[in-house]
Structure 1
Amino acid sequence: MIYGLIGIVFFVWVIFFGGASRLENTLVGYFEFGQAGEKAIYIKMVSWIGLVFSVGFLFFGSSS
């Protein structure tokens, strides 16, 4: 559950608080987003997908 919350916070930072431009063309951006780490707009698109899956796993993937 804590990893889901950390993922949501990370993706919100990337999408809304300028994290994509900071991760653009960096080693961390490449390891996190693969080839999409070259442009900020691609990082944001992948982050939206990650945010949807993180929220989905947090609310629908928990068995407890």
Structure 2
Amino acid sequence: MAEELRTCPKCFYVADQKDNYCIKCGSPLINRCTKGASPNHSGCEAENKAEAAFCAKCGSPTVFGEMGLV
């Protein structure tokens, strides 16, 4: 089976599926929810679609949304 590729949302470099960050510009390649753990919440950090500005699970901003990539 061929390895899937990830495209950087900032510079559009095509990275390996195992990469978490772009080797060309350093941007994250996985669009996770930014809601971290707190005393009242266990956190979300769900993986979202690349075009999601807000988390589909909890509605908090995503990494790509906060970085202005979507």
**Normalized against structure 2, the TM-score is what?**
0.24
Structure (1 or 2) with the larger CA radius of gyration: 2
**Normalized against structure 1, the TM-score is what?**
0.26
Structure with the greater relative contact order (CA < 8 A, sep ≥ 6): 1 or 2?
1
* Greater share of helix: 1
* Greater share of strand: 2
